[in-house]
Amino acid sequence: MKKLLLLILLIPFFISAQEYVDIFRIGYGQTLNNNFEAVDSSTNVKSFEAGLTFPIVINENQALITGADFSSNNLQLFPEAEYTSLYSTNLKLGLASTWSEKWSTTIVLLPKIASDYKNISSDDFYLGGFALLKLKKNENLKYRFGIYATQEAFGFFTTPILGWYYLSPNKRFEMDMSLPISADVSYKLGVTTVGVDYFGIGRSFNVHYENLPKLYADLSSLEFAGYLQFNTLEESVLLRAKFGYSSNNYEMYAEGEKIDLGVSAFSFGDDRTQLNPSLNGGVFLKFEAIYRFHIKEKTTSEKKY
C-alpha cells in the first residue's frame, strides 16, 4: 500500500526518458590539501551534504515539488587561522507541468540561509531559483533549456542551462547533463556502475568574527571526479565512491563589497578587495549514498497485483 501511494504521487511528475527519481542523497568528502597562494600554509576542506526531493501531485498534468538541501564546509579561511564551518540550508518549492507529449516545464524557488550560523539574521537569507523547458525527443532522449539565478552576498548571479538526458536502449549507458552546472556520464556493469561527473557553481556565506566587521566568503568550486558505484537492494540504494579534483577557492571580502553582475564564469563590475590569499585546488575523496525510486519497474510490479 505504501509503495502504491508513493507511485501515485511520483508517476505523473517523472514520466520521461528518465525512469527514476533520486529521493534522498547524502555525501561526505574531504580534500587532501589546499595550498594558499604565495604563503607557506595549507588547509583541508571537509564537506557534508544531504538532500531530499519529493513531488506531490496536483492533477494529471501538474505536480508540486518540495524538498530541502543542507550542506556544511569546514576549513581555514585564512592561513594559520582556526577552522570555520560554513552552512547552507535551502528549501525547494516549485511546480512541474506537462503541456503536451513532448513539452514540459519545471520552475523551482530556492530560498536559503547561508553563513557560519552565528547570529543568524535576515542578512543571511537569499532567494534563488531555476526554470527549465524540456523537450522529449524520443523515449531515450530529452533536452533541457533553462536559467538559474540567485541573490548572493556578492550580488546577483545567473547562468543559462543547456542540457540533455539520454539512456541507451539497453539501459547501460546514461548521460545526465545540465551545463555549465553539472554533468554525469556513466555505464552500468551489473551490480556496479562506473562514471565521471562534474559540478560547479558559485555560492557565498556570511562570516562573523568577534569584535570584527562582518565578512563573507565567496566560494567558487569546480569538482571533477571519477566514481565507482555499487547498486544494491534492486538498484534502489546506490553507494558511490568518488576520487577527483576540486578548486575550492574561498575568497574573503568585507560585507557590502559587491559585483555588478555575475553571469556563469564571468563577473562584471568587480572591483572588490580580497582579504585572504586565494586557495589552490586539490584532489578529493567523497562517499555518497542515494535512495532511488524506479518508476517503470514499480509500475509493472504493482500491476501484477
pLDDT score recorded for residue 303: 35
Residue 8 CA to residue 4 CA, distance in Å, equals 6
What angle, 0 to 180 degrees and rounded to 10, lies between the N-to-C axes of helices 2-14 and 295-303? 130
- Does pLDDT of 14 surpass 70? no
Q: Are β-strands 141-152 and 155-167 bridged in parallel, bridged antiparallel, or unpaired?
A: antiparallel
pLDDT at 1 over 50: no
How many distinct structural domains can be found in the chain?
Answer: 1
Question: How many whole angstroms separate alpha carbon 244 and alpha carbon 79?
Answer: 24
* Whole-angstrom distance, CA of residue 164 vs CA of residue 16: 12
The pTM of this model reads: 0.87
Q: Residue 8 pLDDT more than 50? A: no
pLDDT at 304: 34
pLDDT digits (tens, 9 = 90+) for 251-286: 999 999 999 888 877 778 889 999 999 999 899 999
Is the predicted pLDDT of residue 17 greater than 70, yes or no? Answer: no
Q: Given pLDDT bands bounded at 50, 70 and 90, which one contains residue 6?
A: very low
Q: Is 10 in a helix, a strand, or coil?
A: helix
Condensed to tens digits (0 to 9), the pLDDT of residues 200-213 reads 888 999 999 888 88
Position 18 scores a pLDDT of 60
Task: Give the pLDDT of residue 295.
Answer: 67
At 19, the pLDDT band (50, 70, 90 cuts) reads: low
Helices and strands (H, E) in the chain, number of each type: 2, 21
Domain residue limits at 127? 2-303
